[in-house]
Amino acid sequence: MKRFIALYSMVYPTIFLISLSILAYEVIFMRIFSITQWHHFAYLVISIALLGFGASGTFISLFQNRLKKAFSGYYFVFAYLFAISTVLSFWVSQKIPFDPFLIVWDKKQYLYLLEYYLLLFIPFFFGATCIGMAFANYPEKISRIYFYNLLGSGAGAFTSVLLLYLLHPLHILYVISGIGLLAAAVSSLRIPFRLSPFAFLLLLGAVGLLFTLQLKLKISQYKGLSLALNLPNAEIVAETHGPLGLVDIVRSPAIRYAPGLSLKYTQAPPPQWGLYVDASEVGAITHFKEDLSDLQYLDYTSSALAYHVRSLPKVLILGAGGGTEVLTALYHRSEQIDAVEMNGQILGLMNGKFKDFSNGLYALPNVHVKVMEARGYVESTPERYHLIQVALLDTFSASTAGVYALNESYIYTVEAFKKYLEKLTPDGILSLTRWIKLPPRDNLKVFATAVQALEERGVQEIPKHLILIRSWATATLLISNSPFSEEEIARVKEFCKARLFDTVYFYGITEAEDNNYNQLPSPHYYHAVQKILFGDRQRFYREYLFHLEPATDNQPYFFHFFKWKALPVLIASMGREWVPFVEWGYIILIAALVQSALVSLVLIILPLFWLRVGAASWNPQRPRASRLKIFIYFGCLGLGFLFLEMVYIQKFILFLANPIYAVSVIISAFLLFSGLGSFYSDKVSTLRTPILGLIGISFVYFLVLKSVFGYFISYGSGVKIGITVLLIAPLAFLMGMPFPIGLRRVSLGAPELIPWAWGINGYTSVISSILATILAISWGFHAVIGLALLLYLIALWVGD
């Protein structure tokens, strides 16, 4: 009995530590992928992680008898292997010459990709095997084990964010490995005494390994930072890290940043240092000496248009970055310049190390910069502005390649545009600048969004409220609360003529007035804008090569343009080799879903050929329940849980006005209260209570959540975090019950199938993490929530 209790005392803390390490490892690897490649590769990390959980279930199913006979020894081995593989797998993976851009030309890249997958899969497999072994070995303690599993995962979400403030992502890998070694050390206390010296030597050797391996980031040669470091005399002069990215400042005399600068401007801009977040260019810090004439070059960019149309004394810049748009407002002598920057690291550099270089730009008396998410600031501020400027902060190459296709963006939705217009004065202007693409995409979608926002605000004579111009590289759209006068339109024409910019739209424009300077094969933009304003808009959206329907808060995927029907046209015009460069973020997501589904299906079915289990009775009251019901039940839970969690993360990002707060608070709250629900589930005898309860709560949230957000949006972060936790707590508490209740029932009828059920839940979680995004892009968040609740109803029907 003492040994039995001691085993429990060993399992609970190690489950907590391993769960913490696994989730932290997943978060950190997503950050590393965002730095070395791009954001959409993070979905591969999620799929690899959850695939490791599913594969562990298959493995335990096949070898559970052997694992149970020497539980303590195997548990220590897998905990140890998890700890060392977190660092070792990454170190080896950086030696693989994988280049995703070459995958069409070089068939060896498929082999490199497979090697990459296997190496990153290993730590998740070992860690998940420890958790799965605990479930299989102690079925009578499933609820408590699941509680520590979720509690550790919640702590991992919080810990990873905290560590990102303190350490470089690479250094955090050492910390995660150290936590894993601590779990292995605790588990070693229960192995046979004669093996203890070997365990001690293994642990000591692992510590030595951590001090020996030197980890480095292998950043894609196509990212902005890599390209910048190839410039003459280029060097990184500052680097800072945090949850929102790795920020680098690069010095080189060859750096020039002025998006869409007129070809008429021939002078050199002031010295500039490049600003990079996660190795992607987001702007530059300009050497400003108080002489406004040095900033004349900014008046030769398309984004300066609004200042030539009306007097704009009070300006709001959404996306301060290195200060380019703030300098533009200073050049045009705006009296009050408010700016919002989500990444506090950038503000810290501007007010710290580079304060002298930028002449204290963000400390000037008429410049006020707040660290906040742009949309959240607009929602909460009582101010009214003459101009709201949405800054251009992404790079042309990344935008063209479609690497932002999977990014949610609440600053380009219809609701956002309506809110911007609401926060303008009666004659205020909203200005947005995007890169030029062929075939046209971004700017047409921005234009379509503006038209719909004006319609929903009940604006009359909408064509008189819009102006669109383009340079050789950028296009700028002006949206006014009041109609543009003929005199203002004349100023627009004069501005464009002096800078060789093309007028795409103003009220009364003719086709002859477009496509004169930066000539395209045909006036694509002019014709498209005319159809959006005056033609059959919905038909145009349906027939157009790319997805142009305006993004909404329910579907905030502004950068998703991909349509399958575009592929044949792109292949015919660009050649098959160029397909990966066009909206490939969405294609990678689809590929990840297909491969995850196929691998998961094989590994779910595989154990059934080895397991000799009759009619698996997982419900004593219904002995005829089959393995098919187990598959359906745990599959529905795996899909439904992740569907709800991912959607609520997105919904609360807007409310909390900070994605880091949203992700860390919601994941931690979900896992913590789900763990408490699991702990309490021993007292629940029926599935109806938790499942019908969570369905009821979700329905209430559907009705009232928007009103709750609107009421508390202007409150401080502490209050909003508290409201978030209060809202998540009851839902997550109930969501934590069905899984342990189901495993407990399996243990009564067919304990051999516990690892299999654990694996099914893991595999469907793989699929759900990707499928939720695809469904949200296609149908919106409300549809994903509805589908999640339907899955829970199916689980109730099968399991109760």
- The pLDDT value recorded for residue 751 is 80
Q: Quote the CA–CA distance of 780 and 799 in Å, as a whole number.
A: 29
Task: Give me the architecture of the 1-219 domain, per CATH.
Answer: Up-down Bundle (1.20)
Listed in sequence order, the residues at least 6 apart from 649 whose beta carbon sits closer than 8 Å to its beta carbon are 662, 663, 666, 667
Please tell me the distance from the alpha carbon of residue 43 to that of residue 592, in angstroms, as a whole number.
8
Average pLDDT per run of 10 along the chain, which is 800 residues long?
A: 51 93 88 78 68 81 85 90 91 82 70 79 92 87 88 89 91 93 87 66 76 83 89 93 90 92 92 92 88 92 96 95 94 96 91 93 94 87 96 56 57 95 97 90 95 96 97 96 97 97 96 91 92 94 91 90 75 58 66 74 68 48 62 91 87 76 80 90 86 93 88 82 92 93 84 81 79 88 94 89
Residues 60, 753: Cα–Cα separation, whole Å: 10
The correct CATH number of 288-561 out of 3.30.56.10, 3.20.20.70, 3.40.50.150, 3.40.30.10 is 3.40.50.150
Q: Are 405 and 585 in contact (CB under 8 A)?
A: yes
Lookup: tokens for 456: 């929903």
Helix, strand, coil percentages for the chain (3-state, nearest 5): 65, 10, 25
Which H/E stretch holds residue 424?
A: strand 424-435
Token pair, residue 186, equals 């605790």
Are residues 386 and 313 in contact, defined by beta-carbon separation less than 8 angstroms?
Answer: yes
pLDDT at 608: 60
What does the domain layout of the chain look like in residue ranges? 1-219, 224-275, 288-561, 611-800
DSSP secondary structure letter of residue 620: T
* DSSP class of 287: -
Residue 350, class by beta-carbon neighbours within 10 Å (0-12 exposed, 13-18 middle, 19+ buried)? buried
- pLDDT score at 394: 64
Query: For the whole model, what pTM was predicted?
Result: 0.88
Tell me the two tokens of residue 310: 């009306």
Q: Contact 570/591 with Cβ under 8 angstroms?
A: no
Question: Do 611-800 and 1-219 have the same topology in CATH?
Answer: yes
8 A C-beta contact, residue 798 and residue 638: no
Could you check whether the bond before residue 439 is cis, i.e. omega within 30 degrees of 0? Answer: yes
What is the signed CA dihedral for 433, 439, 444, 446, rounded to 10 degrees? -40
DSSP-H helix ranges across 167-304:
169-187, 196-212, 224-228
Nearest to 75 by CA among 11, 32, 144, 9: 11
Tokens 């496509």 correspond to 515
Question: What is the spatial distance between Cα 586 and Cα 774, in angstroms, rounded to a whole number?
Answer: 8
Starting at the earlier edge strand, list the strands of the sheet with 367-371. Answer: 367-371, 336-341, 314-318, 385-390, 424-435, 474-480, 466-470, 502-505
The CATH number of domain 611-800 is 1.20.1250: yes
Task: Give the pair of three-digit tokens for residue 494.
Answer: 């004069």
Predicted pLDDT at 583: 62
Res 620: pLDDT: 44
CA pair distance 177, 90, nearest whole angstrom: 12
In this structure, the strands spanning 272-277 and 385-390 are: unpaired
Q: How many CB atoms lie under 10 A from the CB of residue 363? A: 13
- C-alpha 630: how far from chain center: 32
**Beta carbons within 8 Å of 598's beta carbon, 6+ residues apart:** none
Map tokens 């990079």 to a residue.
276
**Residue showing tokens 């460069």:** 581
C-beta of residue 95 within 8 angstroms of C-beta of residue 217: no
**Most distant pair of Cα atoms in the chain: their distance:** 92
Amino acid at position 372, single letter: M
